[in-house]
Amino acid sequence: MTQTPSPITWVPNDRARTITDSQAVAENFPPGVFDQTRAFHEQIPGYKVSPLRSLSHLADMLGIGGIWVKDESVRLNLNSFKVLGGSFAIYQFIKRQLGLENEDLSYEQLVSDETGARLGDLTFATATDGNHGRGVAWAAKQLNCKAVIYVHKDTSVARIQAIESYGATVHIVDGTYDDAVRRAGEEADANGWQVISDTSWEGYTDIPRWVMQGYTTMLSETQEELAGQGIVKPTHVFVQAGVGALAAAVTGFYASRFGADRPTHVVVEPATADCLYQSARIADGYPHDVEGDLQTIMAGLACGEPSPIAWGVLWDCVDAFVAAPDYVAAKGMRVYGVPLAGDPFVVSGESGAVTLGALTFIANNPAFSDLKDYLGLGPDSQVLLINSEGNTDPDYFRRVVWEGANSVPIEYRKAMSGV
């Protein structure tokens, strides 16, 4: 008889609570970079601050002071935060190509015919589970450049078509996301293309670092939005992870801004693609890969190989690493989509919703009271979540929200009193 997977498997990272100044944070998020990324993104036509939504009634039900959701499903009409990283990395790459690393380059100059003539025929390549590739394809189109995007064999048709809608060429790789990363690198080398990846490897760190820096625009916005509510900073941040770039951007931002007084950070991954959780469990300070087919409904998090530069930040700054099965993400999608009376409706895809699902189990299920106590989660807590994507796979979204796919096992429904 197959045992029902627990909704929460976790490992503490006690060493993070001993580190006040992280060298990894300092290297990846130097002074001034948050202002630089924000200034660049504000110039993009159609830029708007994405909303910070309050789930105050759900917070009351869970016995938490507040739940705040940074809703990236509406970012530049691209259904995901990913464009922030890809666009900033391409911007920095072009500045380097033009010998303007220490100078300002406006968005208008960036997309001008003059800049295009100086750059020549450029092609950008990347691997993706969907959202990053869509962001790179969008950015390439603004520059009148080509984009070649590699996806793994289980990528949905809807996500592939969304990438192609921006004029990119999409290649399907018979393997996992990590296999697609390798194929993109090999073919880029062979054809003289430039890889714009959100994961790093030996000899390739600048661009993934710029990607992580680009993501911090949404945290700068969040801090302004929280200030408008009289909140200096969240007490807790739950953030999802694939290779770890988003998680490192979030933790790095708060560690840089607040040092030892940073929020408590929790990283949540799919149980079938838990490379960061396993790296923390091994606890030798190095990132470790996980093998297998990495099957999960959380397509954007289906990664078996951590980004080394992201791992350095997470190892220094994350308090707990959590692995969760698919039904936790599906529960989060339904809680967002059918909110308590008075709470806002949020459209969240599988990868965007797993942190809310995990939070509901941790806050309300006595089986996880040890983790709740370790995190200090209670009535004074102000929890920040990142809804990293909207409805990027409509067919599967309907299966979860309409038909109840990946429902919570009955034994865990009984334990979830009130939710």
Whether residue 314 is predicted with pLDDT greater than 60 in this model: the reply is: yes
Which residues, 6+ apart, have CB-to-CB distance to 132 below 8 Å? Answer: 82, 85, 86, 126, 198
pLDDT for the residue numbered 121:
92
Tell me if residue 153 is catalytic. no
Residue 203 located in a structural domain? no
> Active site residue: 129, 198, 319, 343, which one?
129
Residue 4 located in a structural domain? no
Whether residue 308 is predicted with pLDDT greater than 60 in this model: the reply is: yes
The structure tokens listed for 4 are 């029902």
pLDDT for the residue numbered 416:
57
Choose the final residue of a domain: 136, 164, 197. Answer: 197
**What integer is the mean pLDDT of 240-248?**
98
- Tell me 389's DSSP state: B
Q: Which residues are bridge partners to 238 per DSSP? A: 266, 385
Does 113 lie in the same domain as 65? no
Residue 16 located in a structural domain? yes
**57 — pLDDT class (breaks 50, 70, 90):** very high
Dihedral, CA of residue 188, residue 190, residue 121 and residue 168, to nearest 10: -40
Sheet holding 66-71, edge to edge: 9-12, 320-324, 264-270, 236-240, 382-387, 66-71, 52-54
Does 286 lie in the same domain as 222? yes
The structure tokens listed for 390 are 């909207």
Residue 342 located in a structural domain? yes
pLDDT for the residue numbered 1:
55
Tell me if residue 372 is catalytic. no
pLDDT for the residue numbered 127:
96
Residue 58 located in a structural domain? yes
Does 59 lie in the same domain as 23? yes
Does 67 lie in the same domain as 109? no
Choose the final residue of a domain: 197, 220, 253. Answer: 197
User: What total of structural domains would you count in the chain?
Assistant: 2
- Tell me 273's DSSP state: S
**317 — pLDDT class (breaks 50, 70, 90):** very high
Choose the final residue of a domain: 197, 223, 248. Answer: 197
pLDDT for the residue numbered 414:
66
Whether residue 419 is predicted with pLDDT greater than 80 in this model: the reply is: no
Chain segment 137-177, per-residue pLDDT in tens: 999 999 999 999 999 998 999 999 999 999 999 999 999 99
Percent of the chain with pLDDT over 90: 95
pLDDT for the residue numbered 104:
87
- Mean pLDDT computed over every residue of the chain: 95
Whether residue 271 is predicted with pLDDT greater than 60 in this model: the reply is: yes
The number of angstroms, rounded, from the C-alpha of 385 to the middle of its chain's C-alpha atoms is 11
Percent of the chain with pLDDT over 70: 98
Nearest to 197 by CA among 177, 226, 220: 177
Does 308 lie in the same domain as 168? no
3 versus 45: which is more confidently predicted?
A: 45
Residue 178 located in a structural domain? yes
Does 391 lie in the same domain as 245? yes
Report the amino acid identity of residue 401: V
CATH number at residue 287: 3.40.50.1100
277 versus 104: which is more confidently predicted?
A: 277
Q: Which domain holds residue 93?
A: 83-197
Q: In whole angstroms, how far apart are CA 363 and each of 63, 296, 355, 367, 379?
A: 7, 24, 12, 10, 10
Whether residue 280 is predicted with pLDDT greater than 80 in this model: the reply is: yes
- Helices assigned H by DSSP within 157-295: 157-164, 177-191, 206-215, 217-227, 245-258, 275-282
Does 111 lie in the same domain as 151? yes
Whether residue 418 is predicted with pLDDT greater than 70 in this model: the reply is: no
Chain segment 354-401, per-residue pLDDT in tens: 999 999 999 999 999 999 999 999 999 999 999 999 999 999 999 999
Does 99 lie in the same domain as 59? no
The structure tokens listed for 318 are 């994350």
pLDDT for the residue numbered 269:
98
Does 75 lie in the same domain as 95? no
Does 69 lie in the same domain as 96? no
pLDDT for the residue numbered 129:
87
> Active site residue: 70, 82, 331, 372, which one?
82
Residue 42 located in a structural domain? yes
**What integer is the mean pLDDT of 37-58?**
97
* Measured distance CA(338)–CA(332) in Å, rounded: 10
Does 381 lie in the same domain as 232? yes
Does 124 lie in the same domain as 73? no
pLDDT for the residue numbered 88:
97
pLDDT for the residue numbered 300:
94
Whether residue 417 is predicted with pLDDT greater than 60 in this model: the reply is: no
* Measured distance CA(53)–CA(382) in Å, rounded: 13
The number of angstroms, rounded, from the C-alpha of 2 to the middle of its chain's C-alpha atoms is 31
The structure tokens listed for 68 are 């705040």
Q: What is the pTM for the complete model shown? A: 0.96
Residue 348 located in a structural domain? yes
pLDDT for the residue numbered 305:
97
Q: Under a CB-based contact definition with an 8 Å cutoff, are residues 320 and 271 in contact?
A: no
Q: In whole angstroms, how far apart are CA 397 and each of 73, 107, 121, 352?
A: 14, 35, 39, 12
